[in-house]
Amino acid sequence: MNGTTPPSPRRSAWIPWVFVGGMLTVFAVNAVMVHLALATFPGVTVGRAYERGRGYNQVLAEAARQDALGWRAEVALAEGGVLTLTASDREGRPLEAQVQGVLQRPLEGTDLPLEFAAAGPGRWVASVQGARAGQWDARLTLTGPGGEHFDLRQRIFLR
């Protein structure tokens, strides 16, 4: 005999518990991740998304109708918190129209009504004083003298 004794079974008894502990840690982390995945944002930004998707042909028809009008409009933010809208017809002549609209926060859904005043042919202005700085969507509707309407959606950044 060479004088070595076999290792004690007690000395290595902890090794299986390391594997058990590791698997329990993986299970606990996965449970937390599943909970967070189910409890947070589901990814749906529109209610009844399927039904709205089925009506997409109507959206395309409305876009074609607006393109056929030939109207062009542009929104700009001027110094002093003034929103300026300029609009022209197919030939580039200033539009005669009534303007209604709101500023809307994309994520919050907060609406800020806009009161437009004519500032010349084909040009309107509205004050956005008091609006918080950040990203807003200008959602405007121009209505011509013949009842035709033109919807304009443009993102602006208030500073």
Tell me the residue range of the domain where 29 lies.
11-40
Q: What is the pLDDT of residues 9-18, one digit of tens each?
A: 677 788 899 9
Q: Is residue 74 part of a domain?
A: yes
Residues 84 and 15 in one domain: no
Region 50-72: what's the mean pLDDT? 91
Given a contact cutoff of 8 angstroms between Cβ atoms, the answer to whether 154 and 101 are in contact is no
Q: Are residues 74 and 27 in the same domain?
A: no
Is 54 among the domain residues?
no
Does residue 153 lie in a domain region?
Answer: yes
Same domain, 105 and 151: yes
Domain of residue 116, CATH code: 2.60.40.1940
Structural domains in the chain (count):
2
Query: Are 94 and 140 found together in one domain?
Result: yes
Tally of helices (H runs) and strands (E runs) in the chain: 3, 8
d(CA 104, CA 87): 21
Q: By three-state DSSP, how is residue 79 classified?
A: coil
139, part of any domain: yes
Mean pLDDT of the chain: 89
Confidence bin at 6 (pLDDT 50/70/90):
low
pLDDT tier for residue 159 given thresholds of 50, 70 and 90: confident
pLDDT of residue 132: 86
Q: Is residue 87 located within the same domain as residue 138?
A: yes
Which pLDDT tens digit goes with each residue over 128-155? Answer: 987 888 899 999 999 999 999 999 999 9
d(CA 65, CA 71): 11
pTM: 0.65
Residues 75 and 149 in one domain: yes
Residues 145, 75 within the same domain: yes
Residues 81 and 151 in one domain: yes
Judge contact between 102 and 108, C-beta under 8 A: no
Quick one: CA torsion of 30, 36, 41, 42, rounded to 10 degrees?
A: 50
